[in-house]
Amino acid sequence: MTSFGYNVLGFGNIVSAPAGPSIQYLIIAGGAGGGGRNGGGGGAGGYLSSIEGESTGGGGTLQDAFEFTSGTEYTVTVGAGGAGGTTPGSDQGQRGTNGNNSVFGSITAIGGGGGSGEAATTPQGADGGSGGASTYHDSVSAGGAGTANQGYAGAISQQHADGGNYSSQNEAGGGGAGQLGQQGDTTTGSYGKSGDGGDGLASSVTGSSVTRAGGGAGGWWAVNIPGAGIGGAGGGASSQTSHDNPGNAGTTNTGGGGSGGTDKGGANNSYPGGAGGSGVVILKVPTANYTETTSGSPTVSTVGDFTILLFNSSGSYTA
């Protein structure tokens, strides 16, 4: 029997139509803010990649490239980082704000999950691209979950081993694109050690290796802490080394999470968490198909047979 397939006339099996022209992408959402006063670290923004030979976030499956329609304008949205958790009372800290989503066409990376604050109403980390870390407030609280193919969960809080008055000085780290957030050290000294943020992932899409989307470190309470937590590799913020400071901010255009806030000496002893870093969108377009029609002033470079568009702020590309 004669079979009419794509580009085939004759006997045998039908030949499938080849895939249309496509764009590879790396989309990173805004990182989350760390929690206020002894707060958990903020989760990194979701890390969603289709770059051949690389990894997407959360240990997930590399995404398919984006098949475009010629002449169509595709919007690029770069998500802002979330604000650090506020401190509305002398012994309170609110959860950090989730980061904002980054979008290319129909593809969305989810903003990082806010790190928890010490207030009894917000001890759990928020879900997000990568999850925010929790704090210990009279009981163990859950870290926020990451999003499949985008990031890892934030760490779970725990009580200091001595079980005494200094039980909440070792707050946990937020999740990163490449690693879970880390728990604090609950056995060192009277005050413990803050947890580190989860590491991000490296990409060489621009021609050199850059690590992005690290989680924020946990905040802490006491002045004699043996060691502040370290932000996850890839823009996650480290804990302050003094207890009289707000949390540090995640690095701009990495999607890094902010660190948790500290307390301060004297009355009204609460400092806010650090803000998350903004995201980034990177497109890898076959140079043979590149139209040069963009908005939003992306950085344009050439790597091999591809044109690379790096958007640090929102814009568009017309295929």
- DSSP readout, 194-255? PPPPPP-EEE-TTSS-EEE-PPPPP----TT-S----PPTTTPPPPPSSSSSPPPPPPTTTT
28 token code pair: 């990173």
Q: Are 139 and 45 contacting, i.e. CB atoms less than 8 angstroms apart?
A: no
CA 12 to chain centre: 50
Q: Which of 10, 11, 44 is nearest to 30 (CA)?
A: 44
Distance CA 277, CA 78 (A): 11
Q: Are 280 and 78 contacting, i.e. CB atoms less than 8 angstroms apart?
A: yes
CA 127 to chain centre: 11
How much is the pLDDT for 20?
A: 56
DSSP 287: G
What do you get for the CA distance between the two ends of the chain, in Å?
41
Angle at 213 between CA 207 and CA 219, to 5 degrees: 145
How much is the pLDDT for 135?
A: 84
How much is the pLDDT for 82?
A: 98
pLDDT along the chain (319 residues), means of 10: 33 40 96 93 98 97 96 97 88 91 98 90 90 82 93 86 55 96 76 88 98 95 70 95 86 97 73 96 97 97 98 98
pTM, whole model, 2 decimals? 0.90
